[in-house]
Amino acid sequence: MAHYLTIEDLRVRHHRRAPKMFYDYADSGSYTQGTYTENERAFAGIKLRQRVARNIDSRDLSGTILGKPATLPLYLAPVGMTGMQYPDGEILAARAAEKFGVPFTLSTMSICSIEDVAANTTKPFWYQLYVMRDRGFVADMIARAKAAGCSALVLTLDLQILGQRHNDLRNGLTAPPKMTPKVIADLVRHPAWCLGMLGTKRRTFGNIVGHASGVTSMSSLMEWTASQFDPTLDWSSVEWIKSQWDGPLILKGIGDVEDAKIAVQTGADAITVSNHGGRQLDGAPASIHMLPQIAEAVGDKIEIHFDGGIRSGQDVLKALALGADVASIGRAYIYGLGAMGEAGVTRALEIIKKEMDITMALCGETKLSDIGPNNIWGGVPRPVPLTSDPERVPLEAIGAA
């Protein structure tokens, strides 16, 4: 795997291997995709201070997340339909994370169920919860996460209503895919993916089918899902969920200082600064541009996690320098999974760890606790206007399917 040197290398391979609707699901945002683009591009505008003639031997990248040891200050974020990027994708990603020594988060909208992942791993993982109108279903999901031994609950707050994602609508995204002529023509170009999917029984939303009332077919599943995201979700709902869950609670989707202050008052264990990967409110600032002011406001009161745009170990270090205690990756590991399954997730983690280690050394640091604004050249950055896409390998130019 020596030729996979960057997360971008894995992305290109993922694009070649996965059907269009599933690759596009992972690698796109809502409306104009401005916030999605800015999440990634904003990191390039943050410059690091290089220091020299400092003892940089014996560097240590390990840390703690929610009080538990981790080999990196990093975890795998929840991503829906991971099992459609690669057969049994959630199980494979969870195994890779377990072996590497970082947490894995299972999405409510996963293909492999909570029970599937628990049966195929040996250590606890995290569970991400969407709040549905059917609160009985929500309570049951929390009970299932407890029964599976999940060690933290990640409550997503920024999806009360679904942001419009044009690629998903144009592609007719479903799981499993609906066999239209257009979809069949695309699947024919991806035989390895098709063979892999034929070898697994997991091809639809495992946490919903067989558990939600009235969901017995593809049409009933789509109707149920479209109607269930709950626009009445508010801070009192968070209190109710806390009463159902007695473990560590992370509130994901915080992108505003005032919301961060309220989140602290709920008694949650951590917040995740996130704009849902640019998949919800298009036109919102990049997560990294919101991080410093949120960290300044509440960083001494709650553990701060960061999500959005990380594609390298340098990005992780920048997030830590600007106030995060922990970072998470979503697309970066999904590219690896879509490229090579479990080995690809491991490779993504290896890439990020090596880049972070070298960057930390060249900044003159050996301990995570010493990383801070002093490592950022020119001080804490401020938001800048949206511009063009970050530099990428042009997929058409290399003949990607």
User: What interhelical angle do 287-298 and 257-265 show, nearest 10?
Assistant: 50
- DSSP E strands, 44-199: 47-48, 63-65, 68-70, 74-76, 105-106, 126-129, 152-156
Tokens (6 digits) for 316: 């992780």
Let me know: does 309 contact 287? Beta carbons within 8 Å: yes
- Among residues 14, 190, 276, 289, the one annotated as catalytic is 276
Pairing of strands 47-48, 376-377: antiparallel
Instruction: Report how far residue 31's alpha carbon sits from residue 216's, in angstroms, rounded to the nearest whole number.
Output: 32
Say whether 305 is catalytic: no
Q: How far apart are the first and last CA of the chain?
A: 21
Tokens (6 digits) for 161: 């209503």
Which DSSP category does 172 fall into? T
Q: Is 112 left (phi over 0), alpha (psi -120 to 50) or beta?
A: beta
Q: What are phi and psi of 293, to 5 degrees?
A: -70, -35
272, 285, 20: which is closest to 156 by C-alpha?
Answer: 272
Cis peptide before 176 (omega within 30 of 0): yes
Let me know: does 149 contact 113? Beta carbons within 8 Å: no
Residue 338 has, within 13 A of its CA and on its CB side, a CA count of: 33
As beta bridge partners, residue 326 has: 305
134, 128, 126: which is closest to 159 by C-alpha?
Answer: 128
As beta bridge partners, residue 47 has: 377
- Cα separations in angstroms, 96 against 37, 93, 125, 178, 341: 28, 5, 12, 30, 9
Residues identified as active-site: 276
